Amino acid sequence: QQGNLTRIDRRTGETVYIQPQAGPGEPPERYNWDAPILVSPHKPSRLYFASQRVWKSEDRGDSWTAISGDLTRNEERFAMPIMGDTQSWDSPWDMYAMSNYNSITSLAESPIKAGLLYAGSDDGQIHISQDDGGSWRTVNVGSLPGVPDTAFVNDIRADLHDEDTVYLALDNHKYGDFTPYLLVSKNRGRSWKMITDGIPDKHLVWRLVQDHERASLMFAATEFGVYATLDSGDSWHKLSGGMPTISIRDIQIQRRENDLVAASFGRGFFVLDDYTALRSMDADTFEQEAVLFEPRDAHWYFQKRPLGYRPKGSQGDSLYVAENPPFGSVFTYYLADSFKTQKQLRQAAEKKAKKAGKSVTFPGWDAVTAEERETKPKVELVVSDESGRLLRRVAASNSKGLNRVAWDLRRSYLGPVQTGKNWRGDPPSGFMVVPGTYSAELVVTEAGEQRRLAGPVSFKVNQLREGSLTGSSLAEMEAFNNELSELYGQSQAARYAIKAARKELTNLETMMSRMQTSVPGAGTKIAAIKAALFDIEETIFGNSMQEGIGGYGPTSVTTWLGHAMRGVSNSSYGPTPSHRQSVEYARGAFEPAKDR
């Protein structure tokens, strides 16, 4: 802010003030409120900084050399018109908290050619140096097509792939002009072309960033959100993705993760995780019924569970915590249109007819009955292992356009379908798969018929880190988890089988109470069956009477399985001998109970 520049040692937290200073007899430096700083893409210890002139440091700011003179119009600010006229000295002047004027606002260096520099100012000038500041060529923005003389240079970006190409974002809102100005030059600033098709009127352009792999893919930060182009600016399209309509003042790409980061004016910053699907899009993409894009490799690890099992643990709302990206493998897909029910198709047709001034009539009983009985179409992501074995069906959005769905790397739950959510509100799920190669395809089910929409795409699940201690191998862990999952599912199914048997016994007792003649010995047999069910239930699930008040109930199948489940469900260490023993105890008790 206002040119205050500090270098921070991230290891120690210490700071060093490194702002360039004017020398004896030189005019004071005019730093913009957002004075531009540039780390050279050719040498990390080389910095460029700007006031009304450009400064260069070869030692991370320990010393500075001015490599330009004043690159602004150098006007007397107090003599310039304010509110339509010049003002008296006796007016209540206060510029202390205002941004300086006649200052450089943007710097860029070509990442291909070292020393090819660009500087833009708040008073409508662009300067180009091809010899690292030895000489500068001036371009007045008023000479650019469709740009007023007073336009403020918001951003200059040198092309990442072509040393002769440079991009320029300007705005003139301080003069009541909210037109978006975004231009490109392919000859180092000698001629320019406007590239704003698709960006609406009154959408100021603040910043621009170019993809480091696909030259034609760029993103623009505007007054009302982020726009993307797939064709070097020939056409722009708004990216929403749940981001509010807000002024985006800066935009950058986190290259390691291929994440797009957009900083807003007053509402924090927003991250579009893994935008790589945009790299493979072209005009043909949107002509297809559906497209499933290849995801980036997924990290395999076990998420931490803070105290309270909530993102903030037991902390209150005074602690702000941003939402994490979805865990697992995240897929991007495109649907040309949503899959509609008969009712939706009828309503759309009626809406069109009304708009055309036509009458709408009753469709008939057969039609409305069919609508009532119809099952809604559903879109799913189907995940399989390398052998083609189906692992999971993940519900996906049936919405037109670009969508995302995440697979949490877990298998389908093998227990009873009646199993509900746990005490944390999580639905039942299977164990995590082990690292490896997997595939996924997008399918739709309509009227009971499933068909493939897109895919399959292949992707990898990679182990993020190894534990400090060496436990079981991943293959041993997977085999144990499969064994445990199967036994646990069977034990839980017994709960619902017992419940169903008791309901049948109740129905038998009701039926017997209504019979005109009694059945000798029937009551005794029902009582014996009830007692046997209680005995089986206690063997598998323990004594609910004792456990209900915190008493020590007998050890049960559930006790042993719970020990094993808790031991392996949140760790890559694998089963210990104790966990294996608990499973054997559980199996030894469950098999006889199951046979009963």
Q: What is the Cα–Cα distance from 216 to 318, expressed in whole angstroms? A: 43
Residues ≥6 apart with Cβ < 8 Å to 215: 159, 160, 161, 162, 232
Per-domain residue ranges of the chain: 1-85+97-194, 214-280, 329-339+377-463, 474-595
Q: What is residue 304's predicted lDDT score, i.e. its pLDDT?
A: 81
Q: Which CATH superfamily is domain 1-85+97-194 in?
A: YVTN repeat-like/Quinoprotein amine dehydrogenase (2.130.10.10)
Nearest alpha-carbon partner for 331 in 258, 396, 253, 415: 396
Q: Are 185 and 205 in contact (CB under 8 A)?
A: no
- Is the bond leading into 456 cis (omega within 30 degrees of zero)? yes
Taking residue 471's Cβ as centre, other Cβ atoms within 10 Å add up to 15
Cβ(498)–Cβ(544) below 8 Å: no
Burial class (CB in 10 A: 0-12, 13-18, 19+), 456: middle
The pLDDT value given to residue 547: 66
State the pTM of this model. Answer: 0.84
User: 1-85+97-194 with 329-339+377-463: one CATH topology?
Assistant: no
Nearest to 205 by CA among 185, 184, 220: 220
Contact yes or no for 391/407 (Cβ under 8 A): no
Strands 259-264 and 248-254: antiparallel
Q: What is the spatial distance between Cα 329 and Cα 81, in angstroms, rounded to a whole number?
A: 58
The per-residue pLDDT string of the chain (596 residues; one tens digit each, 9 = 90 and over) reads 888 999 999 999 999 999 999 999 999 999 999 999 999 999 999 999 999 999 999 999 999 999 999 999 998 878 888 888 888 888 887 777 677 889 999 999 999 999 999 999 999 999 999 999 999 999 999 999 999 999 999 999 999 999 999 999 999 998 999 999 999 999 999 999 999 999 999 999 999 999 999 999 999 999 999 999 999 999 999 998 888 899 999 999 999 999 999 999 988 899 999 999 999 998 888 899 999 999 999 999 988 877 666 777 777 777 888 888 899 999 999 999 999 999 999 999 999 999 999 999 999 999 999 989 999 999 999 999 999 999 999 999 999 999 999 999 999 988 777 887 877 777 888 899 999 999 999 999 998 899 999 989 999 999 999 889 998 899 999 999 999 998 988 888 888 888 989 899 999 889 988 888 888 888 899 889 888 888 888 888 887 776 666 667 678 888 999 899 989 988 899 999 999 999 999 999 989 888 87
User: In Å, what is the CA distance from 390 to each residue of 249, 381, 412, 539?
Assistant: 46, 11, 9, 34
Tell me what pLDDT residue 549 has: 65
Kind and range of the H or E run holding 208 = strand 205-210
Tokens representing 239?
Answer: 């990216």
Give, in order, the Cα–Cα distances in Å from 450 to each of 136, 375, 393, 444. Answer: 65, 13, 12, 6
Amino acid (1-letter code) at residue 496: Y
Cα torsion at 79, 81, 83, 86 (round to 10°)?
Answer: 50
C-alpha to C-alpha distances, 489 to 174, 411, 539, 562, 594, nearest whole angstrom: 68, 13, 16, 12, 13
Q: How far is CA 457 from the centre of its chain?
A: 20
Radius of gyration of the chain (CA): 34
**Which residue type sits at 396?**
A
Q: Minimal CA–CA distance to 408: which of 395, 421, 398, 425? A: 395
**Model pLDDT, residue 548:** 64
Residue 233 burial by CB count (10 A; 0-12/13-18/19+): exposed, middle or buried? buried
Fold of 329-339+377-463: Immunoglobulin-like (2.60.40)
Residue 67 corresponds to which tokens in the numbers above?
């490599």
Supply angle C-alpha 546, 568, 461, rounded to 5: 145
Contact by Cβ (8 Å): 102, 74: yes
Residue 193's pLDDT is what?
A: 96
- Burial class of residue 53 (count of CB atoms within 10 Å of its CB; 0-12, 13-18, 19+): buried
User: What is the pLDDT, as a whole number, of residue 551?
Assistant: 61
pLDDT, position 69: 95
Q: What is the pLDDT of residue 210?
A: 97
pLDDT value for 543: 79
Query: What is the reported pLDDT for 308?
Result: 65
